[in-house]
Chains A and B, each alone.
Chain A
Amino acid sequence: GAGVSQSPRYKVAKRGQDVALRCDPISGHVSLFWYQQALGQGPEFLTYFQNEAQLDKSGLPSDRFFAERPEGSVSTLKIQRTQQEDSAVYLCASSSAGGPGDTQYFGPGTRLTVL
């Protein structure tokens, strides 16, 4: 079946530009997560949705980062006025029910390069 998809796969932005990254979770999955992965590091949590409700945004590094999931399915991560330190792979994951025994399914990521 279809997994988690993300688009674009690669994005190059000039410093100061706004970018929007899209995530299509597995159909029917209630939970959706965004992670940021810097080069050579493990992924770091950004934010979490349960359906359309954003329940945890504690990992968003600044108010330039904004995420939404208005209809409880597709999600968009928006970064305003991009900076060089925003260069990273942005990963989206979804899961069916949540909880400590649940499995998260990851997309391939969007590699963002800010020049």
Chain B
Amino acid sequence: DAKTTQPNSMESNEEEPVHLPCNHSTISGTDYIHWYRQLPSQGPEYVIHGLTSNVNNRMASLAIAEDRKSSTLILHRATLRDAAVYYCILRVSFGNEKLTFGTGTRLTIIP
């Protein structure tokens, strides 16, 4: 499976944008890029996913590099409730349904 690399931890001030990077240099052409987050004492929660184009939803935006070897999850205005571990995951094509989590990025929001 293609691997992802994320910083272990990041900090951000409340109400400011947050850019969470992910490197996936061995991504293949059919791999989707997914982001999940896990709040304390909860199960992981889907955030966003994309294949080639940038994506926006109510939670976040996903910016995908043109060569697809990296991506950035953007939280436009961080709140204290966004403090969580964020996982960048590559979903391979059909036949391999599982999510392969790494260690993720622990995001701390400073009030």
Contacts and interface: CB of A to CB of B under 8 A. Distances in A.
Given A100-B91, A100-B92, A45 B46 contact: no
Given A91-B43, A109-B43, A42 B103 contact: yes
A106 B91 contact: no
Nearest to B101: A42
Contacts of B87: 42
Interface in B73-99: 85, 87, 91-94, 97-99
Contacts of B49: 101, 103
Interface residues of A, number: 29
Contacts of B102: 42
Contact of B103 (A33, A41, A104): A41
B103 to A, nearest CB: 6
A87 interface: no
A105 B46 contact: yes
B97 A101 contact: no
Interface string A21-54: 0000000000101010000011111001010000
CB-based closest 6 A-B pairs: A106-B43, A42-B101, A100-B91, A45-B98, A100-B32, A103-B46
Interface of B: 30-32, 41-46, 49, 51, 85, 87, 91-94, 97-104
Interface of A: 4, 31, 33, 35, 41-45, 48, 50, 55-56, 59, 91, 93, 95, 98-109
5 contacts: A43-B44, A45-B100, A48-B97, A99-B97, A101-B32
